[in-house]
Amino acid sequence: MARKILVVDDEAVLVETIAYNLEQAGYQVITAADGGSALEAARRETPDLVILDIMLPEMDGLEVCRQLRREHTTATIPIMMLTAKGDEIDKVVGLEVGADDYVTKPFGRRELLARVRALLRRADYPAAGNEHASQETTGEVPRPSRELVAGPLRIDLAGRRVNCRGQDLDLQPKQFDLLTYLVRNRGTVLTRDQLLQNVWGYDYVGDTRTVDVHVRWLREKLEEDPANPKLIQTVRGVGYCFRW
């Protein structure tokens, strides 16, 4: 079954262009022209991905993103923000309210499709219980361990859950992916470009601030003192390293 993508923008020509390119690539497309309609469509259709413009009439894309993240049925849907502005603040704020990625207008077809494919890869992670279903239908024996343990962290890979110092953490999909990659490569210094390519799934062109924002998020949730992190450490001039 084709993956379903909700495209939200009040520029009719742009929506038509995006929808055409996505449909040519094999996706099913739903569209909305304002924030209220976007929320209704997301609740009704539960798309696999939302492409969401920041500048919308009545309710802007940032507020739509916030509301989608608050609701149980839409909280984990990948969200790509669109912005016509060059200001970094728009991109950072979009990430702060729960977006997984952003793209600045104008953008090319190849870039759009590459980012869409990268975000949809998160849906390929096994959901809790899928391993049992796989064993029943295929006879395959599940992996003996689906948990990563590092210091105060316990990461349930199948259920995509994280517990730190006895408390369950509420992580957005890309935060979970980044943390998992850092822990799996503990002790290794990883550049921002490496993290973008291996976590986001494509060669990210331009500003690497995306990684910095997500690392700051993780530190606020994981570290006892986010200003003096012990788990996710900065290696000045290079990148980041998970140490334990």
Per-residue confidence band for 103, with pLDDT thresholds at 50, 70 and 90: confident
Give the CATH fold of the 138-242 domain: Arc Repressor Mutant, subunit A (1.10.10)
Q: Note the pLDDT of residue 47.
A: 95
Q: Note the pLDDT of residue 163.
A: 94
Alpha-carbon gap, residue 71 to 59, rounded angstroms: 17
Asked if 82 and 9 touch (Cβ cutoff 8 Å), the reply is yes
- In the sheet that 147-150 helps form, which strands lie side by side, from edge to edge? 147-150, 153-156, 161-164, 167-169
All residues at 6 or more sequence positions from 88 whose CB lies less than 8 Å from its CB, including other chains: 207, 209
Give the CATH fold of the 4-124 domain: Rossmann fold (3.40.50)
Asked if 35 and 64 touch (Cβ cutoff 8 Å), the reply is yes
State pLDDT tens for residues 149-207.
898 999 988 778 899 999 999 888 888 989 998 998 889 999 988 888 778 765 554 45
- pTM, 2 dp: 0.60
Rounded to 5 degrees, φ, ψ at 23 are -65, -35
Return the closest-CA partner of residue 183 out of 208, 216, 156: 156
Please say if the pLDDT value at position 137 is more than 60: no
Please say if the pLDDT value at position 49 is more than 50: yes
State pLDDT tens for residues 13-38.
999 999 999 999 999 999 999 999 99
The answer to whether domain 4-124 and domain 138-242 are alike in fold is no
Per-residue confidence band for 139, with pLDDT thresholds at 50, 70 and 90: very low
Domain boundaries, the chain: 4-124, 138-242
